[in-house]
Structure 1
Amino acid sequence: MFILGILTLWFASIFIRDFMKHKNRLEDNSWIKTGVIGFITNFFDTLGIGSFAPTTALLKGFKQTHDRVIPGTLNVSCTIPVIMEAFIFMRVIKVEAVTLVAMLVAAVLGAWIGAGIVARLPERKIQVVMGIALLATAFLMFASEMGWFPSGGNSIGLTGGKLVFAVIANFVLGSLMTAGIGLYAPCMALIFFLGMSPKAAFPIMMGSCAFLMPVASVKFIKEGAYDRKASMAITIGGSVGVIIAAYIVKSLPLEVLKWIVICVILYTAIVMLMSASRAITKK
């Protein structure tokens, strides 16, 4: 927790300094719309739905930012809310220390490598990558709802080959996170597949994101590959959403909402891929 606190302060200082440096040249989008988007998506993120795909869908639906900077905006804007979630769930739900630490470190290393690559990608490649990523996310959510994944077990830790597999898989998920692919759905599927307790998914997936996102986000900030205004608004709105979800609401019947989210994600994926296709045709 101490290390996570240091990472949080490091990220926040760089984010705020960059925002203040450009405060007179902010993007032409809405504080209210992006703030509400942040509140909604991070509220449900705290309840386990995931925020990247819904945030992408809403940002595109309300035309609040450009496709080119969506990956950076997602990572930067959701960093503080996700760290808040991690502090909450890592204290409440127990996971064996070696398993937790190994998977967190793997995710951070994956993000450090991935962010440097994604931040330099042209807009068309971002559209293609995110379109495919959203399709994959929708499939994972659909598969989970259909019961195609193992239901998990009672273990709160891994050893031997299972631990090695989990570490490698989380490294890959950490790197994909920087392309705008949410980690929650695939990480939860991984936890279930390896026979761990479903509850163990929360500290692992939220802790993974909390440790990797400051590292990845700082790279996006230094590259200027993110929407500053939207990121600040989503951070503020999202932080409020996390607090309300964690301490006031705690749980909701989310089955219908999950199906709605799957449909929205599919729609956004198709729009992304069509935009990329039009860009190729124009050439």
Structure 2
Amino acid sequence: MRKEDIKVNEEEAQLLLSSQEHKKKFARWMLFFSIAMVATVISILINYLVFFPWQNPGKVIWQGEQLIAFIICIFLLLSAVVFSIIYFWFTLKVKHDDINQKEKAILAIGFTGGFTDTIGVGSFGVITGLLKGTKAIKDDTKLPGTLNVALGVSALIESALFVGSIQVNIATLLILVIAIICGTFVGSLFVSKIKDQTSIKIIMGVALFFVAILMILTHPQVNVISTSNIGDKTSLMDKPWRIIVGTIVFFFLGMIQSFGIGLYAPAMATLSFLGLQQEVVFPIMACGSALCMLPAAHTFIKRKKYLQQTSNLIMISAIFGVVCSFLLIFVGLQMGAGMDKRTFDIVLKWLAIAVIFYVSISMLVEFYLIKKRQKINKGE
């Protein structure tokens, strides 16, 4: 063995916690996670015992697609629990490299990211901006890993809440999610081979800007272009061309995820143009995003390219953000404010348009800033 290898092994050994310290930290973080899961279970119970019967009078969850949706919901929740237990057990054996973080600020950032992700704004851009704005992250190379590790669990919980509460054709859900996963795998093979990935940002930024304008024209309150008679509002399976187009587009969206392009905005636009209700978009894009995030998180953990303490804090607080957003927006507006299905869909469509404009402008601004930095560096 070389001297360099011996030195690295000694340094790693110094970072390891004693068995007692490890178990103490594991118990502490699992307590926090358990509290977050209690909040999640309460929201699931509110959905199935209160919201579901109110929204679907006469229907029961143990028949047909409702039963399959319930099984998927439980599977997603169990996946979140299993991943978290394994994650905390193994990662807490090592001392955190960001122990001096501002915990309250990070918790607030995680909550905000979970909340905005649930309403379709996304979390990566929001959390990145807040982390940089508060100077909570100094090493940008660990930012992608931190985000993937921190938000995978809350994305699974978000998916479970949506699948359990929003009526969507299960075949449509599974086909589109598989298309996203396959696209992400294929896209990951090309990431390192494309030298100028910023060009993808400007193409998507411009495309989404025009897509948002088209969505305004197709909005029910504008109705210059009508999409209301395309087909089933909760399924793409009624007409072969709808599911074929949806599968192809979602495979492409999975590919561009590998280049740091968010899934939510283009997914909202695609399914809106294909004639689905706006709320049906949420379980599809949440499941696709969550199931792509976990393999990426594993890779970053293995390579130690993430901030441990920051990831842990965001992971827990993002769950509370997801639960609060779901209860306030998806349950509160309909049950509490008495908003009917059509009005709620109209509100979600305007929200989707705002999100797409936001993502488009963010991409164009990011592209401009990258090019500006490149010019400055060349001048030096």
Residues 1:216 and 1:24: Cα distance change in structure 2 (over 3 Å): closer
Alignment of 1:76-91 (within 5 A): 76-91=149-164
For residues 56-77 of structure 1, what are the alpha-carbon distances to aligned partners after superposition, in whole Å with 9 as ceiling and x for unaligned? Answer: 2222333333332333222222
Contact 1:76 1:217 in 2 (8 A): yes
Residue in structure 1 matched with residue 180 of structure 2 by the alignment: 107
Say which of 231, 241, 247 aligns to 1:161: 241
Aligned-partner residue type, residue 94 of structure 1: Q
Q: Are 1:63 and 2:141 an aligned pair?
A: no
Q: Distance in 2 between matches of 1:237 and 1:141?
A: 32
Contact 1:7 1:211 in 2 (8 A): no
Q: Distance in 2 between matches of 1:150 and 1:182?
A: 23
Contact 2:77 2:160 in 1 (8 A): no
Q: Structure 1 stretches of 5 or more lacking a match?
A: none
Contact 1:115 1:219 in 2 (8 A): no
Aligned-partner residue type, residue 111 of structure 2: F
Aligned-partner residue type, residue 77 of structure 1: A
Q: Structure 2 stretches of 5 or more lacking a match?
A: 1-71, 220-226, 334-346
Contact 2:149 2:297 in 1 (8 A): yes
Farther-moved stretch of structure 1 (248-257 vs 32-41): 248-257
Question: Structure 1 residue 114: deviation in Å?
Answer: 4.6
TM norm structure 1: 0.78
Residue in structure 1 matched with residue 118 of structure 2 by the alignment: 46
Contact 1:38 1:235 in 2 (8 A): yes
Identity %: 28
Q: Distance in 2 between matches of 1:13 and 1:113?
A: 30
Q: Distance in 2 between matches of 1:189 and 1:263?
A: 16
Q: Distance in 2 between matches of 1:8 and 1:130?
A: 33
Q: Distance in 1 between matches of 2:82 and 2:217?
A: 38
Residues 1:5 and 1:238: Cα distance change in structure 2 (over 3 Å): closer
Say which of 140, 147, 156 aligns to 2:208: 140
Question: Structure 1 residue 150: deviation in Å?
Answer: 4.0
For residues 52-103 of structure 1, what are the alpha-carbon distances to aligned partners after superposition, in whole Å with 9 as ceiling and x for unaligned? Answer: 2222222233333333233322222211222121111111111112111111
Aligned-partner residue type, residue 57 of structure 1: G
Residues 1:5 and 1:88: Cα distance change in structure 2 (over 3 Å): closer
Farther-moved stretch of structure 1 (18-27 vs 239-248): 18-27
Q: Are 1:7 and 2:79 an aligned pair?
A: yes
- Ranked by relative contact order (alpha carbons within 8 Å, sequence separation 6 or more), the top structure is 1
Question: Structure 1 residue 164: deviation in Å?
Answer: 2.3
- Measured on the aligned residues, the alpha-carbon RMSD in Å equals 3.6
Q: Distance in 1 between matches of 2:241 and 2:275?
A: 13
Q: Are 1:191 and 2:264 an aligned pair?
A: no
Contact 1:111 1:216 in 2 (8 A): no
Q: Distance in 2 between matches of 1:185 and 1:242?
A: 18
Question: Structure 1 residue 112: deviation in Å?
Answer: 4.1
Q: Distance in 2 between matches of 1:264 and 1:82?
A: 22
Query: Match of 1:105, SS?
Result: helix
Residues 1:72 and 1:176: Cα distance change in structure 2 (over 3 Å): farther
Question: Structure 1 residue 237: deviation in Å?
Answer: 1.8
Q: Are 1:32 and 2:101 an aligned pair?
A: no
Residue in structure 2 matched with residue 216 of structure 1 by the alignment: 296
Farther-moved stretch of structure 1 (235-244 vs 11-20): 11-20
Residues 1:24 and 1:233: Cα distance change in structure 2 (over 3 Å): closer
Farther-moved stretch of structure 1 (94-103 vs 62-71): 62-71
Say which of 147, 157, 171 aligns to 1:98: 171
Aligned-partner residue type, residue 73 of structure 1: T
Question: Structure 1 residue 208: deviation in Å?
Answer: 1.4
Farther-moved stretch of structure 1 (66-75 vs 257-266): 257-266
Query: What is the number of equivalent residue pairs in this alignment?
Result: 277
Residues 1:59 and 1:249: Cα distance change in structure 2 (over 3 Å): same
Farther-moved stretch of structure 1 (263-272 vs 91-100): 263-272
